[in-house]
Structure 1
Amino acid sequence: MAETLTPQLELLPPARRLLLLGLKQLGETDAESLSRVAFLSVPAVRAHLAGLARHGLVSITRRPEGPGRPRNRYALTPRAESLFPQGYARAARWLLEAADSDPAIRKPFLRALVEARLREAAEAFDAPTPAGRVQQLTRVLEDLGYYPLLETIPGSKWRLTLRHCPFVELVADHSEVCAIESRVIQVALPGGRVERTCARSEGAPACAYLLQSFR
């Protein structure tokens, strides 16, 4: 049975902390891939993952992968999300709950939230080229705790994967937070195309966007 208390990420032993960070980076994966990320032997990785599973932080699933016996695949559990940056999710939840209690203030509150976030974004993105602005966007999202992964696609396109959501506790009840996120990303590519291809709120393991510049 998992213990009732989840240790904070910084208080975990270094090897287990590296493995959790590796799972955040790779998503569902196997022990061999994690051993390369954490610079540990495969048996050591498996032993640490078994301990993390007992804490309720890692799930273990056996999946067939070609001929032979099924292999174990490892992934972070929802409980493990509390170990990663949560931004101001709890404070934002309290504010939104207060706004929910009075419909007259909900709309202006959300409008003010969006406008403030967009102003901050506009100040952060000042590179002269779309590629430079996308790089700035990635750094902003990194600072906010999104663990972004940026992949360049030929033709002035990029695939942006957000491997963590610092507002995951908030999104379940307030999907408008995702809309704010999309608009902030759009600010980095004025006149470009921002398409969200998958979302955690819809059951995907991460949020991902396809970005395209037309100039």
Structure 2
Amino acid sequence: MNQEMDVSTRKVILTMLKTQGSLTVSDMAKQLGITEMAVRRHLNTLERDGLIEAKLVRQAMGRPTNLYSLTEQADELFPKKYHHLTLDLLGELVSEAGEQQVDRLFERRKERMVNRYEEQMQGKPLEERVKTLAEIQNSNGYMVDWNTTNEGHYVINEHNCPISQVANQYNHACQCELMMFKSLLNANVERTECLVKGGIKCSYTIQEKDK
């Protein structure tokens, strides 16, 4: 129970900093109705996790004090509706230029990503390329794991899709991801499950190209 209360209090602190801006320990203690020592304990945890940062400021009277504020990392904890804007803009593009133009955008995005990452794949055996691709996708928010099958093939599983709202409406985004995998891995890649099509993950089976 105490641990749940601690987590809840830290969420309240993050919300206070989001809605009110920078605050001192004293400000937070008064609003929360707890001691400054208790507030500092929560702040230590949040600072350790990279969610808040402190700035020492001088006061008209008395000693300098720390002002706490959110980091960029913490800002990602709060809801974002970027996909609504993206879908609106893509919808306008379809109206103006047709759906083929949207497909071209996804193709160009795929090409940029291949150009960005292909150097990391050069000279590596397939297993290392699979591992590297999994790390790249993880860094982009796809929550990836990978493994080797009994047949000697490789499987990449993506448990999250940051662009799912867009891909639901514009399926070419999924096709471009498959093409990107094939290009970066220089291998045979088959998608066996897809989040957008009702699966619980996006799953890809990978094997060496036929000699």
TM-score range, shorter chain: 0.5 to 0.7
- Give the structure 1 partner of residue 87 of structure 2: 93
Quote the Cα distance in structure 1 between the aligned partners of 2:81 and 2:191: 22
Structure 1 unpaired stretches of 5+: 1-11, 18-81
**Deviations 1:98-151, CA, capped at 9 Å, x for gaps:** 321222543543332232222223233235211111110010010011101101
1:144 aligns with 2:140: yes
Q: What's the RMSD between the two structures over aligned residues?
A: 3.2
Bigger RCO (CA 8 Å, 6+ sep): 1
Instruction: Select the structure that is richer in helix.
Output: 2
Quickly say closer, same or farther: Cα 1:84–1:132, change in 2 above 3 A. farther
Aligned pair in 2 of structure 1 residues 108, 172: CA closer, same or farther (>3 Å)?
A: closer
Residue 193 in structure 1 maps to residue 191 in structure 2? no
Question: What CA deviation, in whole Å up to 9, does each residue of 1:44-64 have, x standing for no partner?
Answer: xxxxxxxxxxxxxxxxxxxxx
Larger radius of gyration: 2
Counterpart AA for 2:188: R
Is 1:135 aligned to 2:114, yes or no?
no
2:3 aligns with none
Gaps of 5+ in 2: 1-5, 12-75
Residue number in structure 2 paired with 1:38: none
Identity %: 20
Aligned to 1:210, the other structure's residue is in SS state strand
Contact 2:107-2:176 within 8 A present in 1 as well: no
For the residues of structure 2 that align with 1:182 and 1:196, how far apart are their CA atoms?
A: 7
Scaled by the length of structure 2, what TM-score is found? 0.54
CA–CA distance in structure 2, aligned partners of residues 144 and 124 of structure 1: 16
Q: 1:124 aligns with which of 117, 120, 127?
A: 120
* Distance (Å, rounded) in 2 between the aligned partners of 1:201 and 1:187: 22
Match of 1:39 in 2: none
May I ask how many residue pairs the two structures share in their alignment? 137
When the two structures are superposed, what TM-score results if normalisation uses the length of structure 1? Answer: 0.54
Asked if 2 retains the 8 angstrom alpha-carbon contact of 1:145 and 1:165, the reply is: yes
